[in-house]
Amino acid sequence: MATVAVKRKKHFNEIASFPNFLINGFFCFYTILCVLPLLLVIAVSFSDENSVLVDGYKLWPEKFSTGAYDFLLSDWESIVRSYGVSILVTLGGTLIALITMALYAYPISRQDFPHRKVFSFIMFFTLLFNSGLVPFYLLYTQGLHLRDNLWVLMIPMFVQPFFVLLIRTFFTHSVPPALLESAKIDGAGEWRIFAQIVLPLSLPVLATVGLFCTLNYWNDWFLSLLFINDDTLYTIQFRMYQALLDITFLSANSTAYSAILAQNPDYQLPTETVTMAMAVVGIGPIVFAYPFFQRFFIKGLTVGAIKG
Amino acid sequence: MPPTTEAVDAALRKPVRKTRTKQNIGYWKRFGPFYIMMAPALLVLLLNNYIPMIGSLIAFKQIEYTADSFFQSFMHSKWVGLANFDYLFSTTDAWTITRNTLLYNAVFIFLNLVIGVTFALLFNAMRNRRLAKLHQSVMFLPYFLSMIVISYLVYAFLNPDIGILNRVVLPWFGVEPIDWYSEPKWWPIILPIINTWKGIGYYAVIFLAAIIGIDQEYYEAATIDGASKWRQIRSITLPLIRPVIIVLTLLQIGRIFYSDFGLFFQVTRNSGILYDTTLVIDTYVYQGFIVSADIGMSSAAGLYQALVGFMLVLLSNLVIRRISKDDALF
């Protein structure tokens, strides 16, 4: 029979080499599409303003120049401060969010806790129904008076039901009840069990959720848009947003810019290239950190796909 | 003589009763720590979600700033029933934002599903695992970028004077430059491309995880029976990842009334000329409230979104339960 006499290939059930080649080619093309826009932004940021205005954006600088970065450097304080705000909010927010969520997930993961269903529902219901922007905004501004306060950038993301469910599932599946039982017999209290048994066993899920939280905090700009007016409290994302709206915003109140103008009244702000340089400064850390962390994200996603 | 059933029952009942009394007496002693553990998260939920839910009643009031604090103004303002809703639905805006929200999301869901599954199948078929991993990682990169960054990248392409499209790509085809940020008709094409480009890595990874989880024996049997690759995909892979596909799709359908605010606000640069094809409920509420300070109408729009969204989640969950009980959310 012809079908049985399959030629033994090196790998079982592989596709033929021509389609394989095609798939490869297609993915190479798509991969380039993913990276290309970033390269374009980098290229423009290193171009000379005039050549950009004449020839348009190019994937390779027509005329290499670091003028845009020189200008940003002259205003380095505000950028560094924005980085500081971003880092502070990201680290503080992630840390508190992780502790808060893990502490909530533990009781509702315990099968012997009679009210676990009630508290699961309290958490879960917020996914189903939300109040919308208006009451939320009024509470934080009129009720809590947190406008222009860094807490307002953190509190709304402390508890995210989906992550709590993820942590809870992990607790249920990877902490054997017998272990908790024996710890209790040995006289350990709930706090101690949580800190010394449950948490060390759940590091993978905490790492995953922590990474997602970090990303969410770092990339958030919406809360800044709503609540932050004071430009000393701008995160780097929000500063980028302002810069794209109006690059002169970067310089409007910058002493560096007025100093340059005083020396040279004809000085033209290199708006196009500075805008893109601002983007590069903002994207930098994410792109650098990406190769190290993407594995964990992809792993975390596949963990999250399994619901308990 | 064997013991009577009553004796056996009594013997069995005794320990049960003992444990029950033990539970009742020591409830707070035993579970008190749990309540302390849950307190911080409960506080955040109260602030973030439950108090604003009560605040949703704003939609039925006409807010007048009479008192010093907003809360007092809220209490003193008179109830106007559904007047805000009447006002909202008497405008053409209501129709526009509902249409845009639903259509865009429908297209997004369709593309995520079809392209996501296709990419996952292709990844799975690739011979070189290393290369597949590399492509997967790069494809995942846009998912990490905030919408602000995406809006920069898009701007580099669409900038009317010096963007890549108007300067390089369109001249290739001999097409006149297009003023992207002031012509609404192009955005129903642009936005799905951007949304897919950003999110496809995520969906491909999830579908691929499902495909990798399939037992290899099915494929071995199929190969022995002489099934082509095509046939294997149709008869083994797709049927076996069906639950994942259905659940992911229904989850998105449950959120079909909510849009990605960043996509519609940042990437379109909130350009008013484009509103006909780019205004969705989320951006409308933001515009109406933060920019125009029209509390009544925007809170009505927000509540309309929340209520319809709520019903859609319940509905999609009902459907999931019918299909596979394990994947239902509740």
Question: Tell me: the pLDDT tens digits for B76-87?
Answer: 788 888 888 998
What phi-psi label fits residue A145: left (phi over 0), alpha (psi between -120 and 50 degrees) or beta?
left
pLDDT tens by residue, B145-164: 999 999 999 998 998 888 88
Task: Please say if the pLDDT value at position A114 is more than 60.
Answer: yes
User: Domain A69-177+204-306: which topology?
Assistant: MetI-like fold (1.10.3720)
Measure in Å the smallest separation between the Cα of B134 and chain A Cα atoms: 9
Interface test with B, best of A103, A113, A131 (most B CBs within 10 A): A131
Residues in chain B with CB shorter than 8 Å from the CB of A142 are 69-71
Task: Please say if the pLDDT value at position A93 is more than 90.
Answer: yes
Single pTM value for the model: 0.87
- Mean pLDDT (chain A) is 85
For position B24, what pLDDT does the model report?
61
Least confident among A37-46, A181-190, A213-222, A242-251: A242-251
For position A218, what pLDDT does the model report?
94
| Contact criterion met (CB < 8 Å) for B224 and A4 | yes
Count the neighbouring beta carbons within 10 Å of the beta carbon of residue B81: 10
Question: Do residues A197 and A175 touch, judged by C-beta distance below 8 A?
Answer: yes
A1: confidence class by pLDDT, cuts 50, 70, 90: very low
Residues in chain A with CB shorter than 8 Å from the CB of B167 are 55-57
Any alpha helices (H) in chain B, and if so which ranges? 5-25, 27-45, 51-55, 70-76, 83-90, 92-125, 129-144, 147-158, 164, 170-172, 187-212, 216-224, 229-232, 238-254, 261-262, 275-278, 281-286, 295-323
SS3 B78: strand
Q: How far apart are CA B98 and CA B102, in angstroms?
A: 6
For position B275, what pLDDT does the model report?
93
Between A119 and A268, the more confident residue is: A119
> Torsions phi, psi of B106, nearest 5?
-60, -45
Measure in Å the smallest separation between the Cα of A177 and chain B Cα atoms: 16
A44, A190, A305 ranked by CB distance to B209: nearest: A305
pLDDT tens by residue, A144-177: 899 999 999 999 999 999 899 889 988 988 888 8
3-state helix/strand/coil string of chain A:
CCCCCCCCCCCCCCCCHHHHHHHHHHHHHHHHHHHHHHHHHHHHHCECHHHHHHHCCCCCCCCECCHHHHHHHHCHHHHHHHHHHHHHHHHHHHHHHHHHHHHHHHHHHCCCCCCHHHHHHHHHHHHHCCCCHHHHHHHHHHHCCCCCCCHHHHHHHCCCHHHHHHHHHHHHHHCCHHHHHHHHHCCCCHHHHHHHHHHHHCHHHHHHHHHHHHHHHHHCCHHHHHHCCCHHHCCHHHHHHHHHHCCHHHHHCCHHHHHHHHHCCCCCCCHHHHHHHHHHHHHHHHHHHHHHHHHHHHHHHHHHCCCC
Burial class (CB in 10 A: 0-12, 13-18, 19+), B120: buried
Helix (H) or strand (E) holding B62: strand B61-62
| Contact criterion met (CB < 8 Å) for B152 and A23 | no
Task: Using 50 as the pLDDT threshold, list the residues of chain B that sit under it.
Answer: 1, 16-18
| Residue of chain A with shortest Cα separation from B37 | A103
Q: How far apart are CA B246 and CA B238, in angstroms?
A: 11
For position A9, what pLDDT does the model report?
46
Residues in chain B with CB shorter than 8 Å from the CB of A44 are 156
Task: Please say if the pLDDT value at position A116 is more than 80.
Answer: yes
Question: Do residues A249 and B178 touch, judged by C-beta distance below 8 A?
Answer: no
For position A306, what pLDDT does the model report?
47
For position A216, what pLDDT does the model report?
93
Q: How far apart are CA A119 and CA B31, in angstroms?
A: 13
Measure in Å the smallest separation between the Cα of A5 and chain B Cα atoms: 9
Q: How far apart are CA A152 and CA A55, in angstroms?
A: 44
**Extents of the domains making up chain A:** 69-177+204-306
A7: confidence class by pLDDT, cuts 50, 70, 90: very low
pLDDT tens by residue, A216-240: 999 999 999 999 999 899 999 999 9
Cα B177 to Cα A50, B161, B164: the distances in Å are: 21, 8, 11
For position B27, what pLDDT does the model report?
83
Beta bridge partners, A47, equal A64
Length of chain A equals 308
**Cα torsion at B187, B188, B193, B198 (round to 10°)?**
80
Residue in the block written with tokens 């056996």 = B8
- Percent of chain A, pLDDT > 70? 88
Strands B78-79 and B61-62: antiparallel
For position B69, what pLDDT does the model report?
72
- Mean pLDDT (chain B) is 87
Question: Do residues A42 and B152 touch, judged by C-beta distance below 8 A?
Answer: no
The letter for the amino acid at A35 is V
B44 contact A CB<8A: yes
